[in-house]
Amino acid sequence: MKWELKLVENMGEVIGSPNGEDVVIPTDKLLEDMKKQLKFLPKNFTWTIGWRSYVWQEKETQEFKDLTASEHKKLYDGGTLSHPEDDRGSDTELPDSTADEGSTAQ
């Protein structure tokens, strides 16, 4: 078995409003940033909502497997990872982003 480190993500858009009622996440910082960059708050815009996670993917079966807590810490501390079941046992560099098919929710 050969495992590779993959970045899996999915994003979509929802219609936004300045009152933040359409999004369950806090929007104050996003609205502040928008005002700072544009020097005004537009009445019409979209929020891009998504998720991303590093996971192990087995090359042949395409099966996904979660990183352990120590693997996750090592990765985000700038280290390289080697899957313990990897036949070759080589270090895995950070991969390019591999996006899932995104969906647009409105």
What integer pLDDT is reported at residue 36 of this predicted model? 93
At 41, which amino acid appears? Answer: L
Going by pLDDT thresholds of 50, 70 and 90, the confidence category of residue 1 is confident
What integer pLDDT is reported at residue 86 of this predicted model? 57
38-51, pLDDT tens digit by residue?
A: 999 988 888 887 88
- Domain ranges for the chain, please list them: 3-99
In the predicted model, is pLDDT for residue 35 greater than 90? yes
Q: What angle do CA 99, 86, 57 make, to 5 degrees?
A: 20
Residue 9 burial (10 A CB sphere; 0-12, 13-18, 19+): middle
What is the average pLDDT value for the chain, to the nearest integer?
77
Residue 5 burial (10 A CB sphere; 0-12, 13-18, 19+): buried
Q: Which of 22-36, 54-68, 78-92 has maximum average pLDDT?
A: 54-68
What integer pLDDT is reported at residue 16 of this predicted model? 75
Name 51's bridge partners.
Answer: 10
What integer pLDDT is reported at residue 97 of this predicted model? 43
The predicted model scores a pTM of: 0.54
